[in-house]
Structure 1
């Protein structure tokens, strides 16, 4: 779709997760400038926080964005290389008008993105994204000022406030007494400095791996158990009590355990949830998205908590958490959300702190805690949409094949079928659709996946 005579934004991924694309193949300087000018126009001469990950395109995109902001009379609080949750937290703590995280998260290095943040550190809502695009469509940018009064400042002190806010959520003294050895793989991304520093504040001995943010990703950027197989020998050699792997912007967290090695990202949230619910009131509410494992229902039932399912996407989970006054939430991709931390979004520091606190309070190893959770039988698949097939016709095929007991259409198609569920939806971040399946046994999973394949390929 061509929005204006000047910019063709059709090759970009524009969603609740911001705008992202390949450098020079959709997300070039002209497109980045359009979004920079539009965002700057929405900030109304206030202060804007900027953070970025380690991608080589980050510095020049930051310079472009800074120029657009200063030209329209805004001030800039620059954080440099920091996790996405830190950027969000600083927007909240500094009472800024908004912020941008420059990161394409788990996408390859030749991608980059702007993640737009509004007041109080929340990602842009659908309405705010609509306004952002409208400004581009109508070229209704704020005029450049001849004598702008904005300035650039460092947000270093605010980074420390984010770390302190996470520490307040756990028993730091008890964690320090355990003197945990912790392995960290930051994939050379935004968590390379902040996460080891945070662990040292908890009295941990840190074994840093892939914590050199030199603009390359030494392993696949999405921290799945499969992607982390090559890292397992380094973790085992470290003799660490637990390991944590991050994505490039450090809002997703995956664990290593001494016995299992890298485990599914689906285990991160229920382990953190165990720590939170152990001190929460009965009938507490927890929000996860439709693509997140049953494991969270299992943990919540032990504490009398209710699980509510939202649309996929951090902004959607947060919106539901605010609406229901949930005590905790997150996504099965390793995203932990604690509403008591000013990032109020997926935050690796929060996940790390809650899991280490659970180990310290219970006196149990990470392997012992994992053994308390049910086995996980889940498969996450991605497919291009077959030529000539619409998503609607694909959904109809799945419904006729599986005859589900419960259906939700709030986000693609979610079906509950005899102690299992299947979720089919287009990706927010890639030109594909995803099919996620969870069952209660390996045999059921294998049988379900065969039927999924028939739906997709026939």
Structure 2
């Protein structure tokens, strides 16, 4: 008898960021096993890399996933508690068939997720995600083997190769000579061990804060400047040269400076970009997403470089970087993407290395580098969609209100309006829509936000 179960996926967030949901509301053992078996079927007996963050549900989801992979004939290279970029890098370095990072990133503790990784360390494309879902809904899983040949092995040596690959992108000796004191807040997540170790390899004195991965997040998991206000006193007490804050899976990076405290996540990418373009010998292309600040255009213009804007989402930025042969890229949420590192995605280690390197090369403090960048006038808000309203009708209200000079519909609605932009789009990771706005002055921002509020609430 052939029996195919119909799975209710309505409560899950399924996108290029993988599949995520609340453990007790749609992403429990039954659903996780179904996705594990579907993924194992796609891997077809090859080697698979598995990493996770510090969420309490991580170990049992890892065991479930490992069992499904072994039963289908795959071997598992297990990394334990590591950043998402490290898992991606190891897939590439080990020439594995694919991998999974078990992490719901900045979502609260009751959430977890599978981030699906294909060959060469890239997140699943839309086509690969659709294939995975087709296998799940049809129930056409690989049958369990009586005598599978797969095995479990540690990927610890590959983790060190990831760290070494990042070190090759900077002048390690110059950074070491500076003997920077660096403050790290890993929110008790996946970067709790790897990031301090990496900084020590750069000769830094490390002040570890919230680096105990005990299954709790001692501050809000999304590392925004507002969320980090409670951490500022600890950073200032440390007298560190610079501070870095991470999200739970350590693919997003936010800075503290001695003068400013926690600063916007939008500054991470342009500061790293400054280092890359300073050391680039030719005019190049850089890719950022539609929701990322003008700051990157300002830095790129100093070097005669072109900035290209992609859809939101790491996979979309990477796809555009490959298409345009860009030297660098990233997202304004603190995601730095260096194509010369085998993670080829948002990588906190890359961001840390490039920012420390520009400090070492120029002899300038992080606050002096910040003084050379324009002020940021940006607002990011999230809203539930009003009952009975479609996204399309919402977009029409914004278009009517602002009469934009330029429109892009490649990812929601992006409008350019007199030296400012507004981006309205559904979230890939939460059941909400986002409105991101950037202007050239505080007065313009306040005026624009009043009009945004009218569009959302009326």
> Is the CA contact (8 Å cut-off) linking 1:53 and 1:249 kept in structure 2?
yes
CA distance in 1, matches of 2:14, 2:432: 14
> Is the CA contact (8 Å cut-off) linking 1:7 and 1:30 kept in structure 2?
no
1:375: which partner in 2? Answer: 375
What are the within-5 Å matches in structure 2 for residues 27-66 of structure 1?
Answer: 27-66=27-66
Partner secondary structure for residue 224 of structure 2 = coil
1:318: which partner in 2? Answer: 318
1:258 Cα deviation from its structure 2 partner: 0.2
CA distance in 2, matches of 1:87, 1:94: 10
CA distance in 1, matches of 2:136, 2:8: 11
CA distance in 1, matches of 2:5, 2:202: 54
TM-score, reference length from structure 1: 0.99
1:152: which partner in 2? Answer: 152
CA distance in 2, matches of 1:84, 1:376: 29
> Is the CA contact (8 Å cut-off) linking 2:176 and 2:203 kept in structure 1?
yes
1:24 Cα deviation from its structure 2 partner: 1.5
1:299: which partner in 2? Answer: 299
Deviation track 1:194-249 (CA, whole Å, cap 9, x = no partner) reads 00000000000000000000000000000000000000000000000000000000
> Is the CA contact (8 Å cut-off) linking 1:282 and 1:304 kept in structure 2?
no
Gaps of 5+ in 2: none
1:10 Cα deviation from its structure 2 partner: 1.1
1:390: which partner in 2? Answer: 390
> Is the CA contact (8 Å cut-off) linking 2:5 and 2:139 kept in structure 1?
no
1:342: which partner in 2? Answer: 342
1:255 Cα deviation from its structure 2 partner: 0.1
CA distance in 2, matches of 1:127, 1:32: 20
1:79: which partner in 2? Answer: 79
CA distance in 1, matches of 2:111, 2:16: 17
Matched, 1:275 2:275: yes
> Is the CA contact (8 Å cut-off) linking 1:377 and 1:442 kept in structure 2?
yes
Gaps of 5+ in 1: none
CA distance in 1, matches of 2:289, 2:108: 24
2:211: which partner in 1? Answer: 211
1:5 Cα deviation from its structure 2 partner: 3.4
CA distance in 2, matches of 1:432, 1:194: 33
1:401: which partner in 2? Answer: 401
2:259: which partner in 1? Answer: 259
2:69: which partner in 1? Answer: 69
Deviation track 1:264-313 (CA, whole Å, cap 9, x = no partner) reads 00000000000000121332000000000000000000001100000000
1:230: which partner in 2? Answer: 230
CA distance in 2, matches of 1:372, 1:39: 47
2:183: which partner in 1? Answer: 183
> Is the CA contact (8 Å cut-off) linking 1:327 and 1:338 kept in structure 2?
yes
CA distance in 2, matches of 1:283, 1:456: 41
2:448: which partner in 1? Answer: 448
Partner secondary structure for residue 274 of structure 2 = helix
Deviation track 1:378-409 (CA, whole Å, cap 9, x = no partner) reads 00000000010000000000000000000000
CA distance in 1, matches of 2:123, 2:77: 17
Partner secondary structure for residue 229 of structure 1 = coil
Matched, 1:351 2:360: no
> Is the CA contact (8 Å cut-off) linking 2:6 and 2:137 kept in structure 1?
no
1:60 Cα deviation from its structure 2 partner: 0.1
CA distance in 2, matches of 1:281, 1:343: 24
> Is the CA contact (8 Å cut-off) linking 1:406 and 1:417 kept in structure 2?
yes
Residue-pair matches, total = 456
2:161: which partner in 1? Answer: 161
1:317 Cα deviation from its structure 2 partner: 0.1
Matched, 1:333 2:333: yes
Partner secondary structure for residue 89 of structure 1 = helix
TM-score, reference length from structure 2: 0.99
CA distance in 2, matches of 1:370, 1:122: 32
> Is the CA contact (8 Å cut-off) linking 2:16 and 2:126 kept in structure 1?
yes
- CA root-mean-square deviation: 0.8
CA distance in 2, matches of 1:290, 1:442: 21
Partner secondary structure for residue 230 of structure 2 = helix
Partner secondary structure for residue 129 of structure 1 = helix
CA distance in 1, matches of 2:455, 2:140: 45
> Is the CA contact (8 Å cut-off) linking 1:385 and 1:432 kept in structure 2?
yes
CA distance in 1, matches of 2:48, 2:203: 34
1:6 Cα deviation from its structure 2 partner: 4.2
Q: Could you list the runs of 4 or more consecutive aligned residues of structure 1 that deviate by over 4 angstroms after TM superposition?
A: none
> Is the CA contact (8 Å cut-off) linking 1:251 and 1:346 kept in structure 2?
yes
1:7 Cα deviation from its structure 2 partner: 2.1
